[in-house]
Structure 1
Amino acid sequence: MTHTATQTLSVVVEREIPHPPEKIWRALTQPHLIEEWLMKNDFKPVLDHRFSFRGDWGAVDCQVTAVEPSKTLSYTWAAYGLESVVNWTLTPTKTGTHLRMEQIGFRPDQQQAYQGAKVGWQRFFASLEKVLARGD
């Protein structure tokens, strides 16, 4: 398989979560809840809304590209030369929700960002599950 300059890598995290999509959607879209599991932010679940995630290490510039309440959410994620997109997909199951996060757009020369995202999203998901388990 030949690697071309246009070929990008993705980070995918999938979880079965024992909560309804509506509840997970709130945790993905309400700024005070996002802050608890991800970062400080000025997010709004509104198409084309520009926002940022802020951490001790810096900030991520983002723009909402798709919003379908309790189903899908997408936004651009740009930081330190990384131009990527984060896609969230919520699928109802018998016991709760199948939550899938895919961050696409890592270039082959962005191994550090790619490896960092792989580790980071696992941690973020663990924090998200704690926020959900705690209840509203």
Structure 2
Amino acid sequence: MTEPQDLVFECELDAPVEKVWRALTVPEYLQRWLKPKAPVDLAVVSAEENVSLSYRWREAGQGAVVGLEDSVVTFELSATETGGTWFRLTHAPVAVPVAANNNEMMMLAA
């Protein structure tokens, strides 16, 4: 298995931290905001109100990869001087299996 790298996205949102927190924690708001293409199973891993929130994220249904650990998606929020929110999303994906015909090991030995 190869080790995937975390994906990190950061931006400033023109909304107070409390409003962004609601968008991340109220299921109807979260569904509208994130709009996942496939159904996902979410479970809260950790939460510090208006500061950080981590979900275990796994594709639901037939598209789910059986036997692999879940991804963890973490949202970090901090208030800006202008009354907005500095938003940081970190997605720590599962390990990606290497194809049986991958030449990675052969190339390293050469």
Question: Which one has the largest radius of gyration?
Answer: 2
Q: Which runs of 5+ in 2 are unaligned?
A: 99-110
Counterpart position of 1:128: none
Instruction: Give SS of 2:81's match.
Output: coil
Q: How many percent of aligned residue pairs carry the same amino acid?
A: 37
State the structure with bigger RCO (CA 8 A, min sep 6), 1 or 2: 2
Counterpart position of 1:28: 24
Q: Which runs of 5+ in 1 are unaligned?
A: 40-54, 111-136
Match of 1:66 among 19, 27, 46: 46
Task: For 1:1-136, list aligned pairs within 5 A.
Answer: 5=1, 7-39=3-35, 58-79=38-59, 80-81=64-65, 83-95=70-82, 96-109=84-97
CA-atom RMSD, angstroms?
2.2
One-letter amino acid of the counterpart of residue 64, structure 1: V
Partners of 1:76 and 1:86 within 8 A in 2: yes
Paired residues, number: 90
One-letter amino acid of the counterpart of residue 10, structure 2: E
Counterpart position of 1:52: none
The structure that is strand-richer by fraction is 1
Q: Which runs of 4+ in 1 moved over 3 A?
A: none
TM score, norm. by length of structure 1: 0.57
TM score, norm. by length of structure 2: 0.69
The structure that is helix-richer by fraction is 1
Q: CA deviation at 1:6?
A: 5.4
